[in-house]
Amino acid sequence: MKRKVTLIPGDGIGPEVSLAARRCIEATGVAIDWEIAEAGSDVMEKKGTPLPDEVIASVRKNKIAIKGPVTTPVGSGFRSVNVALRKELDLFACLRPCKLYAGVRALHPAIDLIIVRENTEDLYAGIEFEEKSKEAAALVQKIKEWNPKARFNPDPAISIKPISESATRRIVRFAFETALKNGRKKVTAVHKANIMKCTDGLFLRTARDVAKAYEGKIQFEDRIVDNMCMQLVQRPNDYDVLVLPNLYGDIISDLCAGLIGGLGIAPGANIGDDTALFEATHGSAPKYKGLNKANPTAMILSGVLMLRHMGEAAAADRLENAVAKVLKEGRSVTYDLKADRHDPTAAGTSQMADAVIRAMK
Ligand code: NAD
């Protein structure tokens, strides 16, 4: 029987890389009935919202979705569709494997990390107050009452950073279970508990507590986020599975993408109790929109994660091996994987997908 999957093409380079991934997934022979759901800036113009209700309804019904990137205006304009989907569907865990494939130029010869990012709270909670607003002023007033030592510059904008024990417990447990399932040895919790003693302090204390249940099976350690950045650049292979609050997880994901050949390669999954949405780590790269230039690998590898999640391990292996073969040959790859980014022999998005499909045969 065909499995129904929601496909959200996204905007910018989204439609191109989504189509490439769809063709590669179909070439594995797994029977999928795609339900297309449009979200993003193009839909905003037609429907007045970048995230129509039917998109959420479709993912909720099918319980599995793959999504191209969606633009979020910087500083003003509509709120992130990506963050809204994760929160609305309670996709609490963002899983981002960072594996270096042979043939891809990188700082280190081998890397195989898994990043687990909390997806529902932290500074991404969307609780923000503009500068000079009466809410921000009232909040400053209230905080001064509660803490007379609190000092503010005049008229600050304020973003709230909630971190809860329940959400931390859930994400750290997810990280340990991911480690067990994937034969990993160590989980590292990343935080800034030396400065943010309440929020990050709670994250660290809770992580230490959850780790006790895995003693003897999976090692546990913690790192302060700034030190973690330096360590990842110098000695990434000292690490295995990283678990992080939302903001640090977002930033460290891009750092690790840089270690494995760039954003064009890094896949991801947003996972909840019964629903999962697969998407690349990268954004909509608007400057490459419609140019058939963007690297489809991150979306195709997100498809590999989706196939594994669907219990289609053999198809997932076939597709991943085909991607690995194309990367190793280094011929039919997009500009970002060539030594010279202006190499005229670079493949386009759809030609790289064709090469992956050929490599599966
Ligand atoms: P971006 O990931 O779109 O681009 C960063 C850099 O990486 C750019 O130089 C871009 O050209 C390059 N790049 C990205 N994907 C590539 C690919 N597949 N192949 C080759 N090169 C690639 O990040 P940005 O510029 O910060 O954000 C652009 C928009 O995307 C913003 O509106 C942002 O909010 C949004 N965004 C969406 C998601 C998502 O949908 N999950 C994630 C991140 C950013």
φ, ψ for residue 342, nearest 5 deg: -100, 15
SS (HEC) of 107-134 = CCCCCEEEEEEECCCHHHHCCEECCCCH
Distance 50 CA to ligand 1 centre (A): 18
For residues 42 and 265, the model is more confident at 265
Rounded CA separation 272/167 (Å): 12
Percentage of the chain lying above the pLDDT 90 cut: 92
Q: Which residue has the tokens 């910018």?
A: 12
Tell me which of 212, 240, 259 is where a domain ends.
259
How many separate domains does the chain show? 3
Distance 263 CA to ligand 1 centre (A): 8
Q: Is residue 121 part of a domain?
A: no
**Do 42 and 100 share a structural domain?**
yes
User: Residue 337: its pLDDT value, please?
Assistant: 96
**Do 61 and 143 share a structural domain?**
no
**Do 169 and 156 share a structural domain?**
no
pTM here is: 0.94
Residue of 117, 247, 282, 350 to test ligand 1 pocket, by largest number of atoms within 8 Å of CB = 282
User: Residue 76: its pLDDT value, please?
Assistant: 67
Closest among 271, 278, 272, 284 to 301, alpha carbons compared: 278
Closest among 306, 350, 327, 188 to 262, alpha carbons compared: 327
Rounded CA separation 97/334 (Å): 21
User: Residue 42: its pLDDT value, please?
Assistant: 83
User: Residue 80: its pLDDT value, please?
Assistant: 85
**Do 229 and 152 share a structural domain?**
no
Q: CATH number of the domain at 70, please.
A: 3.40.718.10
Q: Which of 101, 124, 239, 335 is catalytic?
A: 124
Q: Which of 11, 42, 122, 250 is catalytic?
A: 250
Q: Is 63 a catalytic residue?
A: no
| pLDDT one-digit tens code per residue, 98-124 | 999 999 999 999 999 999 999 999 999
**Do 89 and 11 share a structural domain?**
yes
Handedness of CA 358, 259, 10, 275 (dihedral sign): positive
- Residue 240 has which token pair? 């295995």
What's the chain's average pLDDT? 96
Residue 225's domain spans which residues? 162-259
- Residue 123 has which token pair? 């500074």
**Do 166 and 154 share a structural domain?**
no
Rounded CA separation 188/218 (Å): 10
Residue of 284, 327, 334 to test ligand 1 pocket, by largest number of atoms within 8 Å of CB = 284
Helices (H), the chain: 14-27, 41-47, 53-62, 81-88, 134-146, 165-181, 199-212, 225-234, 246-259, 297-309, 313-329, 349-359
The reply to whether ligand 1 has any atom less than 6 angstroms from the CB of 58 is no
Per-residue pLDDT at 340 exceeds 80: yes
| pLDDT one-digit tens code per residue, 192-224 | 999 999 999 999 999 999 999 999 999 999 999
**CA distances from residue 322 to 27, 36, 292, 361 in whole angstroms, order as listed:** 11, 26, 21, 9
The pairing of strands 186-191 and 241-244 is: parallel
Tell me which of 259, 289, 321 is where a domain ends.
259
Distance 303 CA to ligand 1 centre (A): 18
- The burial class, CB within 10 Å (0-12 / 13-18 / 19+), for 52 is middle
The reply to whether ligand 1 has any atom less than 6 angstroms from the CB of 112 is no
User: Residue 148: its pLDDT value, please?
Assistant: 95
Q: Which residue type occupies 6?
A: T
**Do 286 and 274 share a structural domain?**
yes
**Do 168 and 156 share a structural domain?**
no
Give the pLDDT band (50/70/90) at residue 228.
Answer: very high
For residues 49 and 309, the model is more confident at 309
Q: Which residue type occupies 167?
A: A
User: Residue 352: its pLDDT value, please?
Assistant: 98
Q: Is residue 122 part of a domain?
A: no
User: Residue 73: its pLDDT value, please?
Assistant: 76
Give the pLDDT band (50/70/90) at residue 265.
Answer: very high
Per-residue pLDDT at 152 exceeds 70: yes
**Do 333 and 252 share a structural domain?**
no
What torsion, rounded to 10 degrees, do the Cα atoms 180, 86, 29, 316 define? -20
Nearest CA to ligand 1 atom 8: 285
Q: Is 274 a catalytic residue?
A: no
**Do 346 and 269 share a structural domain?**
yes
- Residue 271 has which token pair? 């996972």
**Do 47 and 30 share a structural domain?**
yes
User: Residue 44: its pLDDT value, please?
Assistant: 85
| pLDDT one-digit tens code per residue, 18-76 | 999 999 999 999 999 999 999 998 888 888 889 999 999 999 999 999 999 999 877 76
Q: Is 122 a catalytic residue?
A: no
Give the pLDDT band (50/70/90) at residue 128.
Answer: very high
Averaged over 78-105, what is the pLDDT? 92
Report residue 73 CA to chain centroid gap: 18
Rounded CA separation 27/103 (Å): 24
What torsion, rounded to 10 degrees, do the Cα atoms 318, 320, 322, 324 define? -150
Averaged over 345-358, what is the pLDDT? 98
Q: Which of 11, 192, 200, 239 is catalytic?
A: 192
